[in-house]
Amino acid sequence: MEKNKINRRKFVKNSALAAGGVMAMPLASHAGFYSGSAPKEIKVALVGCGGRGTGAAVQALIANEDVKLVAMADAFRDRLEGSLRSIIGEFDNADERVDVPENRRYVGFDAYKQAIAHADVVILATPPGFRPIHFKEAIDKGKHVFMEKPVAVDPAGIAAVLETAREAERKRLNVIVGLQRRYQNSYLELLKRYQDGMIGDITSAQVYWNSEGVWVRKRQPSQNEMEYQMRNWYYFNWLCGDHIVEQHIHNMDVVSWFKDDFPESCQGMGGRSVRVGPDYGEIFDHHFVEYRYKDGVVMNSQCRHQPNTMSRVDEEITGTKGRIFFGAGRIEDLDGNVLYQFDRSKENNPYQTEHDVLFEAISKGEFKFKDAEHAAHTTLTSIIGRMATYSGQVIEHETALNSGLNIQPDEYAWDATPPVLPGENGLYPAAKPGETHYFKKA
């Protein structure tokens, strides 16, 4: 850490910002395969310069002293420049760690291609609607990848990510996805005890992401519709996927990780009752979904964006012999007696660990991380939950995956028409259960 000369006070203060990750990786061979030998200097490109991307770039630089940030890309110039200033401000020796001159600062919808060309490692932290095309470009060009979750917003995007994941494995390119609970000490210790049989066989699960919601960016008079939606991306499904996809994916991923499987189908309910104005686009403010695994286990999922309500972000799993309370780091038997309690003094920062373990693999010349496949399926789990609440239908995992359903615009351009537009009253059309349909009944 002394070699990195990071401004520790600033980093701790901004640790909430640094909620992503990036790995430093060696250059690929001319054939696009990981050579297994690390170069002296590891070049990183940041694609997506919001808070998450900025934090990820800082963590990349902390993880290995040979990492250098050499290129950046974003749809908006002001976001890129603000991110660069923030990253530079985190390091006392920034001139040695950050080398992003004007001619390597790329802006616009195609900026990602230019930035990726300069790097050994790519951080993908844009709104998730762009993840499938950015991931493909990085792997096609032989780059190692850290990408934030979720990895897509529709079934067509999931199919594309799965195809790219197979290519990444063929090329032996490491990929880590920001489902950071899989790198968190407390969760890993709970997993060990579950695998040792402490709670028996899983019989049910409950997962939660209930909160007040996130930021809103007001429409500005100078903005056309495409720019407004890009700035306020959280509220449009083609960019975000709804908060059941963008946030709640973390909690659902925990259960599928422990079960080593994904739900076969789901049904649920949801709607818009609080966040209903024109600032909130088309997404719901609450969802409740019942997921079913092929062995009959049910996972009940709830998430909401409603101020002044009970907040909870957590997971619980019940087994034949006990229960796991993940937020508390505790396992109890069915009578409430504590069987295991995680020692919080041994907790890590899993966002940083994602980077550290990948760098360790690089230093050993190992191809070790291939997170994209499970991340794609857990993203699809959250997508079918949205489809179920929007429609009131039972949605099956495989049916959705094979549907080719695509909610992206015909083109990515500032003068292009987004997939959803406001009505005369300024409100965006939202799904209506019972009227919105995806698949015909068998």
Token output for 153: 């917003």
From CA 269, how far away is CA 212, in angstroms rounded? Answer: 19
Report the range of poorest mean pLDDT among 143-152, 363-372, 400-409: 363-372
Instruction: Using the predicted structure, report yes or no on whether residue 175 has a pLDDT greater than 80.
Output: yes
From CA 219, how far away is CA 221, in angstroms rounded? Answer: 7
Q: What per-residue confidence (pLDDT) applies to 359?
A: 73
Whether residue 136 contacts residue 164, with contact meaning beta carbons closer than 8 Å, is answered with yes
- Give the confidence band of 5 by pLDDT, cuts at 50, 70, 90: very low
Residue 392 and residue 247 share a domain: yes
Query: Structural domain of residue 113, as residue ranges?
Result: 8-181+350-370
- Assign residue 101 the CATH number of its domain: 3.40.50.720
Tell whether 2 is covered by a domain. Answer: no
Residue 282 and residue 355 share a domain: no
Whether residue 98 contacts residue 390, with contact meaning beta carbons closer than 8 Å, is answered with no
Residue 127 and residue 98 share a domain: yes
Q: What per-residue confidence (pLDDT) applies to 42?
A: 84
For residues 17 and 195, the model is more confident at: 195
Q: What per-residue confidence (pLDDT) applies to 79?
A: 98
Tell whether 325 is covered by a domain. Answer: no
Q: What per-residue confidence (pLDDT) applies to 356?
A: 84
Whether residue 122 contacts residue 47, with contact meaning beta carbons closer than 8 Å, is answered with yes
pLDDT in tens, 302-347: 999 999 999 999 999 999 999 999 999 999 999 999 999 999 999 9
Whether pTM > 0.75 for this model: the answer is yes
Tell whether 230 is covered by a domain. Answer: yes
Residue 170 and residue 211 share a domain: no
Token output for 420: 């959803």
Token output for 312: 């909870």
Residue 357 and residue 276 share a domain: no
Residue 243 and residue 163 share a domain: no
Residue 158 and residue 25 share a domain: yes
| Helical H segments across 287-340, by residue range | none
Work out whether strand 42-47 and strand 67-74 pair parallel, antiparallel, or are unpaired: parallel
Tell whether 415 is covered by a domain. Answer: no
DSSP 8-state symbol, 418: P
Residue 288 and residue 359 share a domain: no
From CA 81, how far away is CA 102, in angstroms rounded? Answer: 10
Residue 296 and residue 256 share a domain: yes
- Assign residue 308 the CATH number of its domain: 3.30.360.10
Residue 387 and residue 270 share a domain: yes
Tell whether 412 is covered by a domain. Answer: no
Tell whether 410 is covered by a domain. Answer: no
pLDDT in tens, 47-83: 999 999 999 999 999 998 888 999 999 999 999 999 9
Tell whether 83 is covered by a domain. Answer: yes
Report the range of poorest mean pLDDT among 24-28, 134-138, 202-206: 24-28
Residue 264 and residue 382 share a domain: yes
Q: Residue 383: helix, strand or coil by DSSP?
A: helix
From CA 176, how far away is CA 96, in angstroms rounded? Answer: 26
From CA 85, how far away is CA 386, in angstroms rounded? Answer: 37
Residue 56 and residue 158 share a domain: yes
pLDDT in tens, 260-307: 999 999 999 999 999 999 999 999 999 999 999 999 999 999 999 999
Tell whether 345 is covered by a domain. Answer: no
Number of independent structural domains in the chain: 2
